[in-house]
Structure 1
Amino acid sequence: MLLNPDTVKNDIDRLTEEQLQQVADFIAFLRFRDRRHRQVLHEDQLASLASEFAEEDSRLAEWGMGDYAQMLHNEGR
């Protein structure tokens, strides 16, 4: 089906505010999807991200262990 931009614009002009909001939301979704599809991560980028997150996970785990040990000590009283 070949779309005529003028026909689409005329249809949009006749929409209610609620319908117009739905069209705006859909346009925002299409733009988001387009940006997401254009963003390509290469294997080296993924490896770098994985390493960065692994380091952060380790730091968070070590930081939380002190609280955990204190909690166990308090339960033993």
Structure 2
Amino acid sequence: MNAKEQINQQLNQLNEEQLNQVADFITFLKFREKLIKPNLNTEKLAQLYQEFAEEDRQLAEEGINESADLLTQEERL
């Protein structure tokens, strides 16, 4: 007997209040699953990556240039 059959057997023996608790627990499990594994739209992520890739590259280069300038200033001291 598989898990689904065992659960169905047990469900048939529960009263209405217990069934409501089981229903609440199932709702909780579904909610938790969405929190743990968010539904990511990979197409949207790829679009955003492309949209911001150039800006990210420019910011990284500015950061490197700024770091180099600061090191040069520090060497002069």
TM-score range for the pair, normalised by the shorter chain length: 0.3 to 0.5
Question: TM-score by structure 2 length?
Answer: 0.46
Question: TM-score by structure 1 length?
Answer: 0.46
Larger radius of gyration: 2
